[in-house]
Structure 1
Amino acid sequence: MNAFNTPVALIIIGLSVITSGCAMMSDNDENAQQQTEFQSMNVVDITAIDRAPLVNNEDDDKADEQDMDAYGAIGQPPLYSSVQGAYKGRPLTKHIGDYVKNMTQDLIANMEYVNEKTPIGVTHFALLDTNLQTTDLLGRQMAESFVHELHKFRVPVIDFKATDYIRITEGGDFVLSRDYLELSSSLPIEYVLTGTMAKHQGGVLVNARILGINSRAVVASAQMLVPFYVVDALIPSDGSQQNGMRDGVKLSRG
């Protein structure tokens, strides 16, 4: 009786050990699985996509949106809006003044005869395919930016549109005028910065030069392509009405 019961007891004990072992293994597997799931849910490198280079074809559109030119202007960005309306592009980190800055550096690098004692005047940039008596908002703003950049280089600049009085009106107080009868006909200008603009594939090709008033000699020159998305960022104060427009550019007398 005892000999018979001893093997049975051993078998029962063995089965109990195996069962408990399986249960422990099952519990360990469940714990390991839960731990794996927990780790996979929490240990995620969310910056990996940001660090990964955009080299796949499916990411070409994103790569185009992040492209910048040498001066930091953003190309092909998404839609944004302002008080003027909706535009296909984000606000630029660089503007036309940054391109003028680089052109001024080129002018200074190859400039001759102009120094801190030779006053210079700055005119609007004319459209190359006209009679050179027509400009636009880009040509006007480039002249304003060149005045600023030349002054930073300590080149004496004379604003020949300044009058000798301040005109006070309901619209504001002004010292500048485009009426030649209100301006001085005798100014100590020895050199003048001027230039031309031509529409080019992808932008506007700007040619700048400094001329001697008496000799007409070119004493400095620079050239640069300004992208269309930088040019289009200039918004006319009249809301870009179609009157006087040609190929999307508002024309006006210089």
Structure 2
Amino acid sequence: MKIKITLMALLLTGCSQTAVPVPEPAATTKAGIIDVTTQLARELVRYSDVLDQSQPLLVATPVMVEDLQSTDNLAAQLQQGLMAGMQQMGFNLVDLNVADAVRVTPQGDFLLSRDWQKLPANISVDQVLVSTVSLARHGIVINSRIVTLSSNKVVSTAQLYVPQQALPDYLLPSQLVVSKQGLLYRNSADGDDKVHLLGETK
């Protein structure tokens, strides 16, 4: 059954599953965002026999597991990669960021937007792919799942540990001295604490 979901409800959608580190997958040892999201898409399909690929699927922006609402550049790139990966697996995707009209400007003609006032008020969707990111000592853990909105039933899950070396443009090893809640802490060596999230380096 399809239901109408509002834009605000989508923005609050996230994962609450506890992130548990898993063994490092060989496919991501020298990979980037594309390889990580492709592997997640494959795992989501592999471990579910009840997915209906013909039903509209919305890919929400991944969030940090601690608060289920903070995001960053890595999360935005993961979302775009998961959209590509799920579409290539044959899913019927819905793009939330398509505006009601094309904006013609001197810089170019634009249809995508993150301004909620320019987006459709309601979208017909039955399934949402939500993900969380958890920082670990030498990398991150990504948990993804597809949820049926009419019943909140989880129909597929995937979990992936990504080492820091696989995403050097987004992840930085912890330094000898780190700041936490306004206080400085000294580790015994570099890399002894959780990795740090960075914006994409140019």
Shift of 1:170: 3.1
Aligned counterpart in structure 2 of residue 174 of structure 1, from 84, 104, 110: 110
Q: Report if aligned partners of 1:138, 1:231 keep a CA contact under 8 Å in 2.
A: no
Structure 1 unmatched runs, 5+? 1-67, 75-93, 236-245
1:70 and 2:26 are equivalent in the alignment: yes
Q: Deviations over 1:56-83 (max 9, x none)?
A: xxxxxxxxxxxx9612634xxxxxxxxx
- TM-score (ref. length: structure 1): 0.55
Q: Report if aligned partners of 1:191, 1:212 keep a CA contact under 8 Å in 2.
A: yes
Equivalent residue letter for 1:214:
S
Greater relative CO, 1 or 2 (CA 8 Å, sep 6+)? 2
1:200 and 2:200 are equivalent in the alignment: no
Equivalent residue letter for 2:45:
I
Compared with structure 1, are the counterparts of its residues 147 and 161 closer, same or farther at alpha carbon in structure 2 (3 Å cutoff)?
same
- TM-score (ref. length: structure 2): 0.69
Percentage of matched positions with identical amino acids: 25
Q: If each structure's strand is expressed as a fraction of its own residues, which one has the higher value? A: 2
Shift of 1:117: 2.3
Compared with structure 1, are the counterparts of its residues 191 and 144 closer, same or farther at alpha carbon in structure 2 (3 Å cutoff)?
same
Q: If each structure's helix is expressed as a fraction of its own residues, which one has the higher value? A: 1
Work out the CA distance in 2 between the residues paired with 1:180 and 1:72: 35
For residues 1-254 of structure 1, the aligned pairs below 5 Å read: 70-71=26-27, 73-74=29-30, 94-130=31-67, 132-234=68-170, 248-249=196-197
Shift of 1:199: 0.5
Work out the CA distance in 2 between the residues paired with 1:102 and 1:169: 38
Q: Report if aligned partners of 2:28, 2:36 keep a CA contact under 8 Å in 1.
A: no
CA RMSD of aligned residues (A): 2.4
Structure 2 unmatched runs, 5+? 1-23, 172-181, 183-194
Runs of 4+ residues over 6 Å off in structure 1? none
Q: Report if aligned partners of 2:102, 2:109 keep a CA contact under 8 Å in 1.
A: yes
Higher gyration radius (CA): 1
